[in-house]
Amino acid sequence: MAEAERIIGTPDTPDAAGDGQERPEDAASGERADSEGTRAPGSGEPEPTAARPRGKRRIAVLFAVALFAYALDLSTKMIVVAKLEHHPPIEIIGDWLKFEAIRNAGAAFGFGEAFTVIFTMIAAAVIVVIARLARKLYSLPWALALGLLLGGALGNLTDRIFRAPGVFEGAVVDFIAPKHFAVFNLADSAIVCGGILIVLLSFKGLDPDGTVHKD
C-alpha cells in the first residue's frame, strides 16, 4: 500500500495541489509586478502627463513676452513714422539721448546695409528655430529670453516685408539715438537683451528643458 501511494502520489501534498490553483506567494508576486508596472504619482518617476502642463505654461510665457515686445515695437514705430519722420529730432536728455527717425536697410544698429535680404532670411530662420525649440521648453528664464528674441525678430521682420523699398528689402525704422552710438529701435533692444540672457543661462549651465549641467 505504501509502495502504491509512493508511485501514484497523494493529492493532498502541496506540490500536487498547485496545479490549477493560485498560491499565496504567486498572488503576492503578481501584485508586486503590477505595482512595479504602474507607478503611482510621486513614487520616484514623474508621470509624462505631469510635465505637460508645466511645459505649456512656459510656452505661454514665451509667446506672451514675444507678443508684448512685438506690439510695443510696432506701436512705437507707427508713432515715429506718423509724428517724427521728416521732423527735427526730439531731445530727451540733451545731446546724450534723442529720438530721431531713421530708415535702416542693414542689420541691428545700422550694420551691413548691403545685405538686407540676407538679414531678412536670418530673421525668418531665427523665428522657425525658436518655434521648434519651444516644444522642449521647461525653463522660465529660457522662455523669457526666447520670447524677447522672437518678439524682436518679428518686429524687424515686419519692417523688412511691408516697408519700402520692397518685400524682403524694406528698411527698418530706428529712432533711439544715444550720443556716439548707433540709432536703434525697441526690437533691437529686445534681441540684445534676449541674447545676453541666453549667454548668462548658458554660463550657468541651464538648458531650455530645465536641466542643469556643469562642465
Nearest CA-CA partner of 131 in 149, 117, 108, 116: 149
Report d(CA 23, CA 18) in Å as an integer: 7
Residue 89 is classified by DSSP as P
Nearest CA-CA partner of 207 in 215, 158, 162: 215
3-state secondary structure of 162: helix
Is 95 marked active-site? no
Which residue among the candidates 15, 188, 207, 209 is catalytic per the annotation? 188
Cβ atoms within 10 Å, residue 156: 26
Report d(CA 112, CA 198) in Å as an integer: 24
Is 188 marked active-site? yes
Which residue among the candidates 19, 174, 207, 215 is catalytic per the annotation? 174
The catalytic residue positions are 174, 188
